[in-house]
Structure 1
Amino acid sequence: MRKAPLYSRSPRQPSPPAPAAAPRLTPEDAAPAAPTAAAVPAKRRSPWRERAAWATVGLLLVTLGAVGQRAFAPGSQVLTQKDIDASVRRSLEKDPLPSAYAKAHAAIAPSVVRVEGDDGPDDAPAQPQSTPKTAKKKPGTEGGGPPLPNHATGTGVVIVDNGTILTNLHVVAGSKRLKVTFADGSESEATLVGAQPEHDLAVLRARSIPDDLVAATMRSTADLQPGDEVIAVGFPFGIGPSVSGGVVSGLKREFRSPQGQRKLTNLIQFDAAANPGNSGGPLVTMDGSVVGIVTAILNPSEQRTFIGIGFAVPIENAAAAAGMPPF
């Protein structure tokens, strides 16, 4: 029987062997030889399966490496909440965050103005006819605010970026000329455009304003509670702008001036330091929003200084004085 030829992958063909005597065939030699692996066409492999196999192997190696590293790492421990807290404390000690008071002050500072009033010349602008004229009283008779000498100093807060400013009526009452100084140092004359005597509020309008004037954000007092942190910003004794911090001490308080000439109701009581010159300034929450206008301090003695009890008119009343809709 003729023997099946075998093929080699080598490009070179071997030289044909010299003729030799035909070997004697045995029954095993007579059977055709099984084809070699080179002669059998390889089964086509799937690229997707090959990639999946390599990915599985890689994942296994990574997992084994991580387990081995943890097992052989000297003194390795499981990270606990205590470790995290300690790390946070170390970071804060190295680079402390600004206080809540500092953040609140940064938010309101561009809107706080210094308000000054004096008698001025005889031809200075008078108060509007729609506003009741209030004669200038002797020092010490202006409720809880600073006394009004010939030159009065108080505080105001910008509530509209067109130069509309809220302050206390007792700060500007009787003044024929008003001047406001903005946060950037620029000055402007101002006129009285509205008043609400029952809440000791006055609305001013600056004649010229900075290009980048920022109006304060106002917030309802509906959710204000005793214990909420607040700051008072103003010009106590003409110094400032100055900021003091405290908490809301109470709500819906009443205050009557020492002479009994004026009674204010529905006031916010607070313990952030306020002194003559703070009148008309904003009472501000920690998110930088105005919730009241500082209007009075309580001191049973003859001294007109702060002993821990201040009062502010809720911003709802102040907004109404400016003709703004309620919250």
Structure 2
Amino acid sequence: MDKQGTFWGGRTSRRCVLAGLLAWGAVLPGLATAALPETVQQLKPSVLMVGTYAETDTPRFNFRGTGFAVLEGRHVLTNAHVIPEAASLIEGRRLVVQVPEGKGKWSQRTALVVAQDVSRDLALLSVEGAPVKPLRLASADQLREGMDIALMGFPLAGAVGYTAVTHRGVLAAMTDVVLPPPVAQALSPRAIRQLRDGGFQVMQLDVTAYPGNSGGPVFEPDSGLVLGVVSMVLIKGTRESALSSPTGITYAIPADVAAEFVRSSKP
């Protein structure tokens, strides 16, 4: 019994305490990500493979990275570095996305580049065919350091099979995309371009992404809300250019930056 006379040992009060803990979710370890398996199943149909296709190539489909459906479902958001140079799309080779159809089946769709932003490593594609269920992009105030996150993509390309893989971690920090170097001579061309185009903050994640994850969504485990877009190239040319070995840290472009890019690029 407390000073106000409330008997905390009773069955009714214990139920109230348990209900309060369940409502807060984060108080008990694991509750915040209890819905992750269901969220993964909801998101997988919207996460696509981006690559090129040509009858004369071996293999015919050349995987380049991950993307996911946005807007009304006929557009795909991915990284700019995932998109091949225009000069390579010749002699029957075209940009395509592979849309999952369930049970290891894929539907190949021709894609066209709507817009690219190299400084933010983002690209928007238009895709032919039926719409794909689009994912929702978070706003800046929905990103909180320390929050649980998950990311989905196709790590290591075809080396481990073409299936969407999910990794879970934490949003470790929001940090500037370019760190000031000790001397101006240490600035790389990419960093100089980034500073000229305007710096912004990126998501630092304590989860390891692999080649092939580029362009994939970082999302909230319980809601599926997209928090960011994985980028494996943008940061390695700026923040980590002086590192000679992998750090195990992954970076992502925040969803609000991606959303502004999508809004300004939509035809």
TM-score bucket of the superposed structures, by smaller chain: 0.5 to 0.7
- Please list the CA deviations of residues 198-235 of structure 1 after superposition, one character each: whole Å capped at 9, or x if unmatched: 1011111112235xx21101111223111111111001
Identity of aligned residues (%): 28
After superposition, residues 50-129 of structure 1 pair within 5 angstroms as: 79=11, 99-117=34-52
CA drift at 1:85: 9.1
CA distance in 2, matches of 1:316, 1:97: 23
Conserved 8 A contact 1:279-1:294: yes
CA drift at 1:266: 1.5
- Please list the CA deviations of residues 54-111 of structure 1 after superposition, one character each: whole Å capped at 9, or x if unmatched: xxxxxxxxxxxxxxxxxxxxxxxx646669999xxxxxxxxx9982332332332221
CA drift at 1:164: 0.4
Choose the corresponding residue for 2:224, options 288, 299, 306. 288
CA distance in 2, matches of 1:214, 1:207: 14
CA drift at 1:192: 0.7
Conserved 8 A contact 2:78-2:215: yes
Query: Greater relative contact order: 1 or 2 (C-alpha under 8 angstroms, separation 6 or more)?
Result: 2
| Matched position secondary structure for 2:257 | helix
In structure 1, the residue matched to 2:128 is 207
Question: CA separation of 1:79/1:112 partners in 2, compared to 1, >3 Å: closer, same or farther?
Answer: same
CA drift at 1:186: 1.4
In structure 2, the residue matched to 1:267 is 202
What is the RMSD of the two structures over their aligned residues, measured on CA atoms? 3.3
CA distance in 2, matches of 1:289, 1:162: 15
Choose the corresponding residue for 2:165, options 237, 242, 252. 242
CA distance in 1, matches of 2:81, 2:187: 14
- Please list the CA deviations of residues 238-282 of structure 1 after superposition, one character each: whole Å capped at 9, or x if unmatched: 1430100001011133258x9934235421111222111010111
| Counterpart code for 1:272 | V
- Please list the CA deviations of residues 262-306 of structure 1 after superposition, one character each: whole Å capped at 9, or x if unmatched: 23542111122211101011110132101211112657235xx6x
| Matched position secondary structure for 1:320 | helix
Matched, 1:181 2:124: no
Choose the corresponding residue for 2:142, options 223, 235, 247. 223
Question: CA separation of 1:187/1:121 partners in 2, compared to 1, >3 Å: closer, same or farther?
Answer: closer
| Bigger proportion of residues as strand | 2
Which one has a bigger Cα radius of gyration? 1
In structure 2, the residue matched to 1:165 is 76
CA distance in 2, matches of 1:291, 1:111: 15
Matched, 1:196 2:111: no
| Counterpart code for 2:35 | A
CA distance in 1, matches of 2:79, 2:115: 11
Question: CA separation of 1:98/1:200 partners in 2, compared to 1, >3 Å: closer, same or farther?
Answer: closer
In the superposition, the TM-score normalised over structure 2's length comes to 0.66
- Please list the CA deviations of residues 174-210 of structure 1 after superposition, one character each: whole Å capped at 9, or x if unmatched: 1522111113221111111111121011111112235
Conserved 8 A contact 2:70-2:134: yes
CA drift at 1:323: 2.7
- Unpaired runs of 5+ in structure 1? 1-77, 87-95, 123-149
| Matched position secondary structure for 1:247 | strand
CA distance in 2, matches of 1:261, 1:241: 34
CA distance in 2, matches of 1:97, 1:172: 35
Conserved 8 A contact 1:171-1:280: yes
| Matched position secondary structure for 1:278 | coil
CA distance in 1, matches of 2:81, 2:123: 8
CA distance in 2, matches of 1:237, 1:322: 27
